Amino acid sequence: MSYALTPTTELEDGEAVRASYTGDRQVYWRAQTWIAAVAMAGGMLVLWLIGNPYVWTGAIGGLAAIYLRAWYVASDELGARWDLTDRRLLGPGPRAVRLVNIAALNTIAGSLQVVTIGGDKYLIKHLPDPEAAKAEIEAAKRAAPGEDAE
């Protein structure tokens, strides 16, 4: 099975890409560090609760599990690209959301959640400045040509 990390949706006549969003390596690794810290504490807590005398191994296990996963998926997470056009937000592969169909934009840590009128949710992950991306998409939505929401 093959999947695309960049938009595969064709641009419409006269449509132009205004901005592109990809994950930032520093934001990605900072998030993984926080997740690893929680996993380390959780592993140690579980071992302590079950009476294991080697509580410290929970920290090593939590750290190894999170960083191994982070290393393995980093190229996909950081390679995903979203394009903002004057009409749509185009995500990896065939994902495409008309700007008029965006109901809400929510920042969550270093990510931007896009919620559509139909209830679909998309996450643009590991942005260096999710508030700036939110403002840019909101401005594009206000300037988008008048279309009926689908």
**Model pLDDT for residues 60-86, shown as the tens digit of each residue:** 999 999 999 999 999 999 999 999 999
Dist CA 84 CA 5 (whole Å) = 15
Distance CA 59, CA 24 (A): 27
Same domain, 108 and 131: yes
Residues 118 and 90 both lie in one domain = yes
90 and 54 in a single domain? The answer is no
Examine the domain organization and report whether 85 and 139 are in the same domain: yes
Average pLDDT (111-127) is 97
83-112 residue pLDDT tens: 999 999 999 999 999 999 999 999 998 999
pTM: 0.84
Q: Indicate whether 97 belongs to any domain.
A: yes
- Residue 100 domain-assigned (yes or no): yes
Same domain, 70 and 41: yes
pLDDT for residue 144: 82
Q: How far apart are CA 87 and CA 128, in angstroms?
A: 24
The pLDDT value given to residue 8: 94
What is the per-residue pLDDT for 147? 61
Total domains present in the chain: 2
Host domain of residue 115: 17-23+80-143
State pLDDT tens for residues 34-50: 999 999 999 999 999 99
- Identify whether 150 is part of a domain: no
Walk across the sheet containing 96-98 and list its strands. 17-22, 81-85, 88-90, 96-98
Q: What is the CATH number of the domain that holds 101?
A: 2.30.29.30
